[in-house]
Amino acid sequence: MIWRAVQAFLIATGALISTFAMAQTFPSRSMTVVVGYAAGGQADILARKVAQQLSANLKTPVVVENRTGGNTLVASQSVVRAAPDGHTLLLVTDGMTTIDPLVPGGNGFDPLQAFDLVINLATAPLFLAAKKDLPVGSLAELVEYGKKNPTALHFGTSGPTTPHRIAGEMMKQLGGFQMSHVAYRGTSASVNDLAGGHIPLVIGAASALMPLASEGKVKILAVTSEKRFALLPNVPSVSETFPGFNVLSYLGLAVNKGTPESLVATLNVELNKVLANPEVREFLTKQGMNVGGGTTAAFSAQVARDRKARADIIRDMKIVVE
């Protein structure tokens, strides 16, 4: 009996020492951040900036891999197959964690069952933009135009189960007008069609839309955050037309379940250091993002709150994958 107790103690102690040693030598090889979105979009831009600074801090290569397809399922599955040792991370968005698992017809994969959240890297408002020759100059005018032309409006987004789509469906319902959704495989494709006049509206990220707006190729009608966006102070918030409206997107990182807690904690600390870097903060701000950070617990709590709220929206609006 005593020997069994000693054995149990030695096994537990050995596990603790092994975990501690792993944390002390981390990282032991190059790291990978897997992104389920196309290169050039907001998620990719964020991942590459964070990876660059993390690599400099840790003096270890940190590679970004874009694995598109299956509405981020391809990326998720590639990380599921990786060793749970903290060297492979998945860029996760609110679309992946709080929308897709809840929408009928989604990819059927729930990241919260397969991964542990590490940190919220950034939050970002979304923007409603119109092609330059659409005869509206504001959200209020768009609502009236939609009521008079019930088949004329289509809005493009980066995918069928994204906060971009949620924002568009909410505006349509609140305004009482018709606007059909068109899902693209990434923001870049939708914005290119908008600039080319092939689709009247897009809901997308600042990083994709601001350059085109400054060149006069598209016009930005509204921002989905409750308050106006600092880089575009003349663009009204949707809440000025529909009080209380507030839709923000978030982007974070996760690792495989089974990754030792000590490594998750180490990653959280190192990524907070990245986000505290002044150059990184300035870069992300100019890309239209609010710098994140904080604890793993805080990120998990935020995701849980958003998931509950969006479940109600998805149910009430009967949102499904087209």
Instruction: Give the CATH fold of the 127-240 domain.
Output: D-Maltodextrin-Binding Protein; domain 2 (3.40.190)
Examine domains 29-124+249-316 and 127-240 and report if their fold is the same. yes
Q: Which amino acid is at 112?
A: L
pLDDT tens column, 104-161: 988 889 999 999 999 999 999 999 999 999 999 999 999 999 999 999 999 999 888 8
Domain boundaries, the chain: 29-124+249-316, 127-240
Q: Is 130 exposed, middle or buried (0-12, 13-18, 19+ CB in 10 A)?
A: buried
pTM of the model: 0.84
Q: 71 — alpha (psi -120 to 50), left (phi > 0) or beta? A: left
Q: Is 144 exposed, middle or buried (0-12, 13-18, 19+ CB in 10 A)?
A: middle
The two three-digit tokens of residue 271, written as one number: 């990524």
- Look at residue 13 and tell me whether its pLDDT is greater than 60: no
How far apart CA 292 and CA 204 sit, in angstroms, is 19
How far apart CA 250 and CA 123 sit, in angstroms, is 4
Return the CATH architecture of domain 29-124+249-316: 3-Layer(aba) Sandwich (3.40)
Closest CA to 268 of 303, 295, 240, 234: 295
pLDDT tens column, 152-193: 999 999 888 899 999 999 999 999 999 999 998 878 889 999
